[in-house]
Structure 1
Amino acid sequence: MSLSARNRLSGTVQRVETSGLMAEVVVELDGGQTVTAIITSGSADRLGLEAGSEVDAVVKATEVMIDAH
């Protein structure tokens, strides 16, 4: 599949927590940082996401929020 997003972060799924229609997916990146994504439960099932799955987190700039410390 070809995507226009250029920000791909490789990592390993640490956990998937499903609650109703949504799932929270925590991915540990190769450098040790984590990225958390909220996706539909259906998408998590279709992708077969579970702890230990090797994945790419794809980030589109229009979906990034910044919070000051």
Structure 2
Amino acid sequence: MKLSARNQIPGTVVGITPGAVNGTIKVDIGNGIIVTSSITEEAIADLALAEGDRVTVVVKASDVLIGK
């Protein structure tokens, strides 16, 4: 699969929390850093996501905010 988004980070699914419409996916991208994504339950099922799966986190945003 090719994507135009340049921010692609490999990781491992470490948690899936189902919801009524959207579920939460936690992905370990290394060094103890966890990225959390909210995606539809339909997408979770279509991708057959499970803990331990190797996935790619794709970040596509018009704004990236930094706080300190």
* TM-score after normalising by structure 2: 0.86
Q: CA RMSD in A?
A: 1.7
Gaps of 5+ in 1: none
Paired AA for residue 55 in structure 1: V
Identity %, equivalent residues: 35
Q: Deviations over 1:11-64 (max 9, x none)?
A: 100011111110100000133201000000000111111110100000012275
Aligned-pair CA distance for 1:5: 0.3
Residue correspondences, number: 68
Which residue number corresponds to residue 11 of structure 1?
Answer: 11
Which residue number corresponds to residue 20 of structure 1?
Answer: 20
| Greater percentage in helix | 1
Which residue number corresponds to residue 67 of structure 2?
Answer: 68
